[in-house]
Structure 1
Amino acid sequence: MNLPPELVLQIFRWATWPPPHIKFSAEYHPFSCSNMTVPVDDHRVELKLKYNLALVSRQWRNLSSQFLYEHITFGRGSDDVIVPSASWLKTTGYGRYAMSVQICHSLSGDEPLSDSYEVWMPILDKCPNVQLIMRPWWAKAGGTFITQPSEPSPSFSAPTMLSEPSCLANVTRLEWEYSVHFNIRLFHDTVLCLPNLLWLSVTSIVGAGTGGRALQTVWRNVLHLPQLTTLCLRIENAMMYRISHRWTLPKLTNLIIEEQDVSIGGTNVRIMRALFEKLGQTLEVLELGRGKYKHFRQSDLVSLAVSLCPKLHILSIFALYTMVPAATHTAIAAKSLRHVHLHAEVAPGDKLPLESTTKHMRRHIEWFRQYEELEYLTLHGDWSDILKDPGTSRALANTKLIVKSENGTAWP
C-alpha cells in the first residue's frame, strides 16, 4: 500500500475521533453522553497511536502535531511540579494545538500553593485555542504526558501574583468534578477568566461534603456568568444547590439535573423549587438525567418544572426513573412546551416486570395528553416490548402527537 501520508493521517484521524472538544461540545442534545458524568477515559491508547505516527518521519511529525497535541493531560511529578510546564509549551509552541486540556489535582492538601490560579493560568495562557477545560476527580496528580520537557523542571516556589487577570476567550465548556480535595478557589478564579463560557458542568462525588462548606467561604458575592446557556448539575450536596441559587445566569436556557441528594430527606423538593424559581423565567430546556436511578422517583420534579418555568419548550426525562407527574392543566405555567423526549432505559439491577414498566410508561403518556399545546413526542431507547402492550399503543395514538423514534422514524 503506497498512500500519501496526508491520506494515512486522515485515516488515523478518524480512528481517534471524536477528540474531547468535539465529544464534549457546548451544544445541547437530548440524552447525549456528553450530558452525563465524564467517564474515566484512558487516553493513553489513542495517544500512543498518535505518538507512533509522529515517529515515522519528520514529515509525519509535522503533519500529526495538530492532533497529537489537541488534548493535553497535565500531570505532576513527585515534586508536585506540573508537566508540561508553561516554559516548555512556550518554547515548543505545541500549546497552540491544544483544543482541550485536563488539569490534575495537587499531591498535597485541599488548597495548596501549587494548585492555585497563579500557577495554572500561565500554563493555560500558552494554550490560546482551548475550547474545553476538564478537571475530573479521577485526574490523578501522577498522570503522564507522553513528551516530557527536555530540561528538568525547576523546584516549585510560591507563585507570584499575575500582573493582570487572564482571559481564556475561546473556552466554551468547563467540566469540573470534585471529591474531598475540591479546590473551590481555583474553580472560582478559573470561571472568572472565561468570558464566553456557554456550558458549565459541576459534579460532586459521594462523600465530597467539604465542597459545600468551601463554597460558603468563596461565594459570599454573586457569581455572574453572562454568556452561560447550559448548566449541568450532577450534585448530591444540598449546600451546593443552595449556593448555585446565588449565581446570576441571564442567558441560561438549558438545565440538566442528573442527581439529587436523598440523604437530606424531604428538603429536596424545597431545594428544587428554589432552583426553578431562580432559573425558571429563562429556562427553555430541562433534562432530568439518570441520577442514581431512583432519586427522581421520590419527588415530582416534572410538575414543579412545568408549574414554575413558563418558557419551558423541551422536556427530556428517563421515564422509568421519574415519578408520574401529578400537576393538573390549570397548574401548568409552561404553555410553551412543544416537545417531550421520553427515554425507556431501565436502571441496572432494577429491572421491573414488563407489566409494571408498561403501566408506568402509559401513565406518563396519558398525563401528557392534557397538554393541548404539545406537538412532538420522541421515544429514545428500546421501546419494542413496551409498544407491544395494546394499552400503551392506544395511549400514544390518542395523544394526537407527532410521535417518532430518536432516529427520526415516525410511529407507528
Structure 2
Amino acid sequence: MTIKRGRAKLSVVIGAVCATMLTLSGPAAHARTAGEVHPATLAALKAFQAEAGPGAAVHAGDADGTWTLSAGTGTINTDRPIQPDEHLRIGSQTKTFTAAVVLQLVDEGKVSLDAPIADYLPGVVTGNGYDGTHITVRHLLQHTSGFAAYNPYPITETPKPNPDGTYDLAESVRKGLSRAPVSAPGAGVTYSNTNYLVLGLLIEKVTQKPVHEAITDRVIEPLGLNRTVFPAPGDRSLPAPAVNGYHGVRVGGFYFWTPALSYDPSLYSSAGAIISTLADLTAFYQALIAGKVVSAASLAEMQKVWEAAPGTGGDSGLGLGLGKYKLSCDTVAWGHSGGVPGYMSQTLVTEDGRHASVVTNVLFQFNRPDSRFLELLDTALCEDAPEHP
C-alpha cells in the first residue's frame, strides 16, 4: 500500500489526550518522553485518535529499542492511556498466525501449496458454484479462491450456533460458501474470511488437533508470546490488563461510546479469534520476517504478492497471510490489519528492525479513518528512518 505523508491539520480532541511517559534507552534520553523524541508520530496519533475510538496507541521502534505513545483512554470515563502490555482482540491479524502454521505444514511435507483443497478436505468446498478440486491451498492463503466476501458479525451475520453458543468451523465454512463465487479461482483477489476458516479445517485435519491448540503449540508457545491467547470455543474472557473495546459514532465534536457486543471467539476462529498485545504482536511479526517461524523458502512464498490487491495500491500487494506496504521513506514493510467488534489494529515490520503496532478501541462500520491510520503507521516507521543518498 503506497502511503503518502504530508502535514495534516490536527483535529480538536474532546477529552483527555496524553502521551505515555516512557523513558527511552540511551543516556541522552533519560529526561525526555517518547512524545518529545517522536513529535511527528505524536501529532499523527492525535489526529488519528480524534477520528477514531476513545483511545489509540502506537508501539514502535527499531532494532535498538521500543517506545509507546497513547492518546485518549482505554476505558471510557477514565484517564487510562493504552499500554503495550494490555490485551486486545486482534481480529484478522490472526490470519498471519494461521498462514504461518499452514506454511509449517508445507515445510514438513504434509501440505502442498498448489494442491487442491479437495485433496485434504474432500466434499467440504463444493456446491453453489464451488469446486474444491480447482481451488488450491495457495488460493485460500492469498484470497484468490473466488470465495465471496464474508464477515461474520454478532447478531446480524452468524452461522447457526451450537446450543452452548459456540460455533463449529465446518458450519462457519458452510455459511461462507452459501454466497455464490465472485470469480474463477486464481482470477483475482476478494478478501473473505471463508478462506481462513477453510484453512482452519485444514490445520485440524492434518495436525489432528483443534486449530486453537495447533496454533498455540506451533507458534504462540515456541515464540514465548506469554500475553497471546487463541481462546478455546466458549472462552469469552479477555485477560487482564485489557483495552476495553467499544462501539460508537462521532458527529462533529460529539461522540457516543457503548461497550462492544459480546460474542464467542469461535465465531472468528482461525480467521480472527486471537487475543494479544501490541508488544507480543511486534515480537511475532519480527520473528516471522526474521525466518524464525517458517523456512526461508516458505517465507519467500508468503512474500510473493498479488500486486495492487484491493485496498493496497500500485506499489504493494497481498501475499500469503502477509500484506506488503511501500512506505514514504522508500522502505517495504510487512504485516496485517485486524478488526473485530471493539478493536481496529495493525502491525508492520521492516527487515531492518523497524516496527509499529497500532490499536484503537472501536471498530467503525462506516467512515473508518483509514487514511489517518496508515499515516500514523508510516510516520512511526519513517520519522527516524536513515536518510537515503
Give the TM-score category using the shorter length: under 0.3
Which one has the bigger helix percentage? 1
TM value normalised by structure 1: 0.22
- Normalization by structure 2: what TM-score? 0.23
